[in-house]
Amino acid sequence: MTSFVDWLQHDTAGLLTLAAISIAVLLVLIIKLKLEPFIALIVVGVGVALIAGVSVVELVGTPTSAADSILEKGFGGILGHITPIIGLGTVLGAMMERSGGADVLTERLLKLFGPKGAPLAMGVTGLVLGIPVFFDIGIFILAPLVYVAAKRGGKSLVLYAMPMLAGLSMTHAFLPPHPGPVAAAGLLHVDMGWIIIMGLACGIPAWFVSGVVWGSWIGKRVIIEVPDEFIPEEKEADKNPPPLWLISFIILVPMVLILGATVGNVVLEEGSTLLSVLIFLGTPTIALTIAVLLALYLLGTRRGITAQEIGAMSAAALKPVGMILLVVGAGAFFGAVLRATGVGQALADSMDALGLPVILSAYLISCALRIAQGSATVAIVTTAGVIEPSVAAGNYSSAQIALIVIAVSAGSIIASHVNDGGFWIVSRYFNMSVKDTLKTWTVLETILSVVGFAMASLIWVFV
């Protein structure tokens, strides 16, 4: 027994075996035993650390040194980075919903594209609104508008839903302030501006191919009627709707500020006053705080929404964020254990020995975890923990690390099926059977994943 444990702790093959066992146990706990993912990640992380010979003091610390332990550093390091970003992004999205910005955006785009271009209009709506709004909330807001567009057009609901879903899914997977890319960026230590640049470069082509091209093709072959009960009742028009330019301005403010800091770091002299200002304003937390304050005033207070209503809306929007943060924190702890035990380095060395580029390894690992257990967030944080030693040792540029993040994010959305909550949301909201959802949504997510990764790989060649 001692020799076996010694083999697990010190031999490369043993460390790889330990890694494989830990992932298998993690999947069993989540899939078979239905244990909450954040609890499963903690249990497996602690188990791997103890088996690999990490001391209890190093793992959990002492009453006077707990802050230096793997447990607290693993959790605290990433949560300190992502918590304000995700929280502020959530409030910004809630304010967009409460103000009626989605209705304004959709109606203007439908007029612009006309009846024949209505599916594309819904896709662009999903793309733009998906930046500040979480995926499931985006469906809740936009589904009634899709029903109306499909009823007016007299064609399959699928034709109008697929482009919109692709837009929401792309932004949720590839762009901040959404949890996946924000968590991966924090774990792999890359500037958020580069995530925006590479997310847009890879995500927009992926959205077009999966949502517009595939959506148009499959929408003519899977015919889903809009049941009468799906059509929302006519509601009284807002007498003072927010203008489209204001909605667009508030969405763009944080992205422009963050990109300004990234560009400034490249073109301006270090230590200059302008660079300091750009870095301050472009820090994601500061940029999103500015955007939220603008939204609260311009879309809220100025339009007659009371402080009490804004407070209640913000509190309700933030409730689901807790579970996301727990999963990300536990995943970061698991990754810290893999680094401390040498398992992560053993995996990195093995990938190098196989000759697999780190961007491909990241994508394949993320795909496997996504397909096995369904959660994109779990796939992202676990994959980032596994590949972090390879990324740290690879001397990659910021642009390359951002592309690795996009590869991880792309893998985390592939092949959405019955173990993914998003699968059932799409099925329910768009009146599709399991078979039809597999034929439409599952294929869309796979195309979005593959094209997004293909774009990341193509750009990798040039950076």
Q: Quickly list DSSP for 348-390.
A: HHHHHHHT--HHHHHHHHHHHHHHHH--HHHHHHHHHHHHHHH
Task: Count up the domains in the chain and report the number.
Answer: 1
For residues 358, 364, 369, 370, the Cα torsion angle rounded to the nearest 10 degrees is: 120
Residue-wise pLDDT tens digits, 82-123 = 889 888 988 888 888 788 877 888 888 888 888 889 999 999
Question: CB of 143 within 8 A of CB of 103?
Answer: no
Full domain range(s) for residue 58 = 2-462
pLDDT of res. 36: 87
pLDDT of res. 23: 81
pLDDT of res. 204: 97
pLDDT of res. 235: 54
pLDDT band for position 219 (50/70/90)? very high
- For 167, residues 6+ apart whose C-beta sits below 8 A from its C-beta are 123, 124, 125, 126, 127, 128, 129, 130, 207, 211
DSSP-derived secondary structure letter, 342: T
- Please tell me the least confidently modeled range out of 174-188, 246-260, 320-334, 444-458: 320-334
pLDDT of res. 126: 93
pTM beyond 0.75, yes or no: yes
CA distances to 344, 403, 439 from 392, in Å:
11, 14, 40
Residue-wise pLDDT tens digits, 403-456 = 999 999 999 999 998 878 889 889 988 989 989 999 999 999 999 999 999 999
Q: How confident is the prediction for the chain on average, in pLDDT?
A: 87
CA distances to 107, 253, 273, 453, 457 from 461, in Å:
41, 31, 35, 13, 7
Asked if pLDDT for residue 168 goes beyond 70, the answer is: yes
pLDDT of res. 66: 65
What mean pLDDT do residues 336-354 have?
75
Strands (E), 155-307: none
pLDDT band for position 305 (50/70/90)? confident
- Please tell me the least confidently modeled range out of 43-47, 266-270, 352-356: 352-356
Question: CB of 134 within 8 A of CB of 90?
Answer: yes
